[in-house]
Amino acid sequence: MSLQKFSSKKLLIASAYSCLAVSAVIALPLSFSLFMPSAQAQSRRVRYVPPSNLGTLTVSVPGATRSAGCTEQACLIGLVPDLVAQTSPVPQTIAERPTFYFLIPEIDGQAYFRLFESDSSLAKGKRVYRTSFKIKNKAGILTFKMPDNAPILKPNQNYIWEFVVGDLTDAETVSGSIRRVLPNQNLVDQLKKVSLPLDRAALFAQEGIWFETVQTLAEAQKGAYKKPEIVSEWTELLKSATLNRVLPFAFLKNSVTTPEQTLEPTKPPQRYGY
């Protein structure tokens, strides 16, 4: 073999190895991008931080429970963090008339919502609001927003809420607490800079504002198309609050409401633990 042919062959082999190396370098990131989740996908953006300031009161009423009447199909649950623990802080809102979310079983009956002022020990005080409405729905997540004719929640005032479903002889109830706080200036400034639901929910969550965190993620799921990242954050938020029972259920769209009624269940509803 001549020197010229040998040199040509060496050059051809070297070129082949060079192309193979370049292909490997290009293909490696592509393969990782297909099979490795991104850092953003791995990290949660909405992380609820319960209020920890010294002025925040904690749940101390043994009877307060967010769930009742559990069956194989569904429970009656208030979408709030676990209120059984004595150290659980009162869930906060910045709304004058907040929005509540409840998981309800399939029902054709009456619902009652009541709101009471509460003292520092969360003992039930004066009733400040009551309404009732007809429910005829399959099991799912019910949205209840306090209407414009309801009283405004006072800042830094604790309240006890009760939600009852059933009739005059057979009813189930859930109850919990809520505290309205005024947003600090940093939160106000940051909310002006963001518009995406995940960004807003993340701000509310890190400031310990539970009700607006839930509302922001819930409203972001309206419509035919649900963004996977919204559903993922919603799922993880509920899991972090031990609300796993709620996960299989969708939001109800056709709840029927009627004017306020004068009759309420006279039989004390049976309460359940977890």
What tens digit of pLDDT does each residue of 72-111 get? 567 899 999 875 444 568 899 999 999 999 999 988 889 9
> Do 105 and 191 fall into the same domain?
yes
- My answer on whether 235 and 155 are in the same domain is yes
User: What is the separation, in whole angstroms, between the first and last Cα of the chain?
Assistant: 87
* Shared-domain flag, residues 29 and 110: no
Q: Are residues 21 and 144 in the same domain?
A: no
Q: How many domains does the chain have?
A: 2
Would you state the structure tokens that stand for residue 206, as one six-digit string? Answer: 């890190």
Q: Report yes or no on 122 lying in a domain.
A: yes
Residue 256 belongs to some domain of the structure: no
Q: Is 61 a residue whose pLDDT tops 60? A: no
Q: Which domain holds residue 218?
A: 67-246
Answer yes or no: pTM beyond 0.95: no
CA nearest neighbour of 173 among 269, 240, 84, 56: 269
Q: What is the distance between the alpha carbons of residues 133 and 255, in angstroms, rounded to a whole number?
A: 9
Q: Do both 81 and 147 map to the same domain?
A: yes
